[in-house]
Amino acid sequence: MSQETRAQFNRRLASQLDGDEAQQWQLPDVGEGLSQPSPLALNISSGEPEPPAQEEETPAPPTLAEIESIREDARQEGFDEGLTEGTRKGLEEGRLKGLEEGHSQGYEQGLEQGLEEGRARIQAQLAQLDSLLNQLVEPLQAIDNQVEQELVELSQHLARAVIGCEVKTQSEPLLLALRQAIDALPSREQRVTIQLSGEDMQLVRDSYGDDELARRNWHLELEPSLSRGSLKVLTQRSEVAMPLAERIDTIFSQFINQPRPAVDEPDYPRFHSAPDQEAGQGESDGMTSQTATADTDAPNAAAAQEAPGHGAA
């Protein structure tokens, strides 16, 4: 008997006792009707008691740990879904952006590389063209140099011839050379010997006179090896030579090496691309034009330059 059944029995028994409902119990008839069950004392059925109805169990509320676990699971699930979706979206956007940037960068690099290669090819072709044109111009330059040298030599021969004729008739070039030689001596207070050719010695004697030569302590001496216009001044410790040929060469050297502005020749071919080659060509052209100008006026220029040229010698 369960506790609940026992409790019900006790309550009913107490109720009957309080209400005087208790009756004398008699033995039941054991004859007929044994097959029929009769209620037991206190009207309690002798059959098996019915099982009590089972009450539905109410689920217990979740604990704080379970709530936190559920919340963490939900957060992790949302995080995983967001991470997956963000990764997918980020990869797609990154791919599109990478394609755009890669295309732009590749286009710029390809354009720059193409320009550089184009410049290099153009420079190579220009260098090849310059080389071919220079090969065509080199023979012309060689001819110009040869003509220039021949004109210089011709001018020198003409100038020597003109100066040689002049020194035979004019005393100024010889006297100028004599004064320059005397001025070149370290000391004049000593005997000076002047060596000359026979014609020049007479020319100096006629120009100064014997008294003046003696006063200056100059002694004229014949030197057959000297040509007209040449002289040599000697002292005890010094010697100054003034040969005519060297004076003429000095004059020509100063004249040729004197810087002059270049003459522009529009029709003259110039194909040198390098700056130093262009500068060298400009100097060569200027020298050619200067030489041609000098050769045109060679006789007059040589005669006019004789007197100041001795001072340089």
CB 278 within 8 A of CB 272: yes
Judged against a pLDDT cut of 80, whether residue 131 lies above it is answered with yes
pLDDT at 292: 39
Long-range contacts of 303-309 (CB under 8 A, 24+ apart): 303/159, 303/162, 303/163, 303/166, 305/251, 305/255, 306/163, 306/166, 306/173, 306/251, 307/172, 307/173, 307/176, 309/247, 309/248, 309/250, 309/251, 309/254
Inter-residue contact 179 to 208 (CB < 8 Å): no
b/e burial code for range 97-110 (CB count within 10 A of at least 16 → b): eeeeeeeeeeeeee
Q: What is the pLDDT of residue 78?
A: 86
DSSP 103-145: HHHHHHHHHHHHHHHHHHHHHHHHHHHHHHHHHHHHHHHHHHH
What is the rounded average pLDDT for all residues in the chain? 72
pTM of the model: 0.35
Each residue of 50-106: pLDDT tens digit? Answer: 666 666 667 777 788 888 888 888 888 888 888 888 888 888 888 888 888 888 888
For residue 249, what pLDDT is reported? 75
Contact yes or no for 145/284 (Cβ under 8 A): yes
State yes or no: pLDDT of 288 exceeds 70: no
**Hey, is 220 helix, strand or coil?**
strand
Residues 230 and 203: beta-carbon distance below 8 Å: no
- The pLDDT assigned to 79 comes to 86
Q: Which residue has the tokens 């410049």?
A: 119
Q: Is the dihedral of CA 66, 72, 76, 79 positive or negative?
A: positive
Bridge partners, 234 (sequence order): 193, 239
